[in-house]
Amino acid sequence: MTLKISISGIRGIAGQSLTDEVVRNFANAFAEYTDKGKIVIGSDTRLSGEHVKSIVISELCARGCQVIDIGIAPTPTTQIAVRNNKADGGIIITASHNPPEWNGLKFVRQDGIFLNETQAKELISIYEDIQKTAKTPKEETLIGSLCKKDPTALDKHIELVKSSIDVTAIRNKGFKVAIDCCNGAGSVITQKFLKELGCEIIAINTDTKKIPPRGSEPIPQNLSHLCEVVKKFNADIGFAQDPDADRLSIVSDEGVAIGEEYSLALAAMFILSRDRSAGKKVLVTNLSTSRINEDIASGFGAKVIRTKVGEVNVSEKIKETGAVIGGEGNGGIIWPVVGLGRDSIAGIGLILTMLAASGKKLSLIVSGMPKYSMIKDKVELSVSSDPNKILSSIEKLYASEKINKTDGIKIDFSDGWLHIRSSNTEPIIRIIAEGLDIKVTQNRIEEVKRAVRSL
């Protein structure tokens, strides 16, 4: 039974690898990490969520923390609530895109960004010390005395996004929008948001008490039902989320899932089009996100900055550089005027504003964008494998090419790229390639796999 502990938080199968003791000790560790501060708690809709939350809140209160429970809420809603409440941190009870039987904890710092690598290591160190010493609270504190519920978090998130988009233009269009919320944390807020924008809604998978009927990731192969709904009802667009509603994928008016890489690309294209001032605009994304972002940015005199893989790395670089937009190719749109985390609600607002402003169908807009083929693969490693030795060998293989060693090995070709990195949570080497020609891209993937397996 695997318990995954990394800079992204902890994840495991609820009641098996993610035991009550693990949850209790991590809550205890976060109480110590935040110096018994004010903590916001939000969760997605997993069946184990209430049980896990009760343990987290009980432990935090026993440690003297002030807890604000915002209930079922998207991950970005919790991040925004941390800032709004001037809290010392937040805990999000979710396993993101993992299957329904999984659950986990994500940890948020004061500015609404996840803990970075250094901060996460500090938290994990505290947790390990707690495990060794089996610390328990000396005095039990009544939960009611230190835990307050905040039913306004969803509305505050909606209002923040609405204040940043052209609500009137969207209402005037009267868009017909299909949504697939994966029965997750976006089910309530997304419908409420779209109603306030005057949209006609065709909703599927919005029952928060049911297990998701599809794969949790909002990738094309999981969105066939949404595609059918868009075509059947002649919707203008379809939006799909993952269980904690931080990622957003889009289905065009033709009922085609355009791929999660295009979510950030479309949002970036719209934001950058607002101001064509050369050299003043920055877009931040990670090394494994599509090159389409460079194509779009160059058309508006903007600069693209690439970071290591991991949302926190993108978020911190956006904050550092004052970037106008950023995110990841997995459907993660980060719009800093709203927040510094991936946010499907902000993404929906941006895309609808873009459609209203352009007066064009989404399929027409997408048809004019650059086209690349991306392949994501991996190689499982044996216990004796040395990831660093493998990466060193790959570097030698492509010594004559342009190499970036920010995160593993990334090789840039004139017609595409390869990114090879070891996983933080699994004994695997991840291989991602993108190019103009699918056959060339596949050949590059196979070349790397052969090289890895030969070691």
**Active-site residue numbers?**
96
Cα separation, 300 vs 273, in Å, equals: 7
Coil vs helix vs strand at 305: strand
What's the half-sphere exposure (Cβ side, CA atoms, 13 Å) at 46? 32
**β-pairing verdict for 303-307 and 282-286:** parallel
Cα separation, 220 vs 437, in Å, equals: 20
Q: How is residue 269 written in tokens?
A: 């294209």
Could you tell me which of 237, 206, 203, 449 has the C-alpha nearest to residue 350? Answer: 237
Which amino acid is it at 141?
T
The neighbour count for residue 380, using CB atoms within 10 Å, is: 12
CB 60 within 8 A of CB 140: no
DSSP 411: E
Which residues are CB-neighbours of 335 under 8 A, at least 6 positions away?
A: 164, 267, 271, 325, 343, 346, 347, 350
CB 242 within 8 A of CB 330: no
Place of tokens 């203008």: 236
Distances (CA, A) of 346 to 108, 135, 165: 19, 41, 9
Place of tokens 């790229």: 417
Number of residues in the chain: 455
Q: How is residue 95 written in tokens?
A: 């396993």
Place of tokens 């990831």: 387
Alpha helices in 407-437 (DSSP H): none
Which amino acid is it at 145?
S
Q: List the strands of the sheet with 416-422, edge to edge.
A: 373-380, 428-435, 416-422, 409-413, 402-404
Q: Containing H/E element for 186?
A: helix 186-196
Cα separation, 377 vs 355, in Å, equals: 34
CB 281 within 8 A of CB 297: yes
Place of tokens 């990394």: 6
Cα separation, 442 vs 197, in Å, equals: 43
Q: How is residue 177 written in tokens?
A: 């929008």
